[in-house]
Amino acid sequence: MEPRDYVTANQHIVQHIKDRLPGDPKLDMYWGTLDYATTRFNTILLKLSQDRILEQQHQNEVHECFEAIQSFYRNVQRYDTWPRPFKFIMGMVLHGIGTRRIPKIKRLLERINN
């Protein structure tokens, strides 16, 4: 995929983040994490679009980051719509994604900046 494809695929996530209203503090925390992750990911894509060699070197990592954002987004939506007793399960899933997969985006951004 080209950087343009990733940006257009994440466009609905960015729009959903802008349109939502604050409410549940835990849900707001998840949306904030998603906001930071998509912002960093778009910054990565911007920098990689300027250098094709770097883009080829980090192609697999970029795709992993894209999949992490998509997975986190799907699970945040599930957390929002599932009944209250099952939110604990989704909270555990989101915590796992947020501690294992989302930090890869920050590390990739740091590597590209240096």
Does the pLDDT value for residue 3 go beyond 90? no
How does the average pLDDT of the chain come out, rounded? 92
Give the pLDDT band of residue 109 (cuts 50, 70, 90).
Answer: very high
pLDDT in tens, 55-90: 999 999 999 999 999 999 999 999 989 898 888 999
What is the rounded radius of gyration, in angstroms, for the C-alpha atoms of the chain?
15
Give the phi and the psi of residue 83 in degrees, each rounded to 5: -65, 155
Angle of helix 25-49 versus helix 103-113 axis, rounded to 10: 30
Give the domain ranges of the chain.
3-113
* pTM score of the predicted model: 0.91
- pLDDT reported for residue 76: 94
* Cα atoms in the 13 Å half-sphere on the side-chain side of 66: 20
Which residues, other chains included, contact 10 with Cβ-Cβ below 8 Å and sequence gap of 6+?
Answer: 38, 41, 42, 66, 69
